[in-house]
Amino acid sequence: MITYEDFEKVEIRVGKILSAEKIPDTDKLLKLSIDFAEEKPRQIVSGIALFFPDPQVLVGKKCMFVTNLEPRVIYGVESNGMLFAVSTAEGAFSLLEPLDIIPAGTKAK
């Protein structure tokens, strides 16, 4: 269990996927460019490639991301956030997608 104060530290925002490509020599990783309505897009590495054989279907989608994680290098690629998604042991998978009327950069409350 974490305290409410700990939970308040987690920044969750809407991001629009601008580009998506597989990271070479990996089966699970995609490199995403995300618009959070900041000065420039952020790069995020996500382990969702098995669910998206054609990563281009992600371009234009708005999803929820944790945006205040410390940067992390994964397979030589810096990641500046984390995509929210859910999956089951049976293989069902879903991105967490807000309604399209919610603009990129909007903070979850």
Domains present along the chain, CATH in parentheses: 4-87 (2.40.50.140)
Predicted confidence (pLDDT) per residue in 4-58, tens digit: 999 999 999 999 999 999 999 999 999 999 999 999 999 999 999 999 999 999 9
Q: Are residues 20 and 30 in contact, defined by beta-carbon separation less than 8 angstroms? A: yes
- Residue 60's pLDDT band, with cuts at 50, 70 and 90, is very high
- Residue 77's pLDDT band, with cuts at 50, 70 and 90, is very high
pTM given for the model: 0.94
Q: What is the mean pLDDT of residues 66-71?
A: 98
User: What's phi and psi for 12, nearest 5 deg?
Assistant: -115, 125
Segment (H or E) for 32: strand 30-35
Q: What is the mean pLDDT of residues 58-80?
A: 97
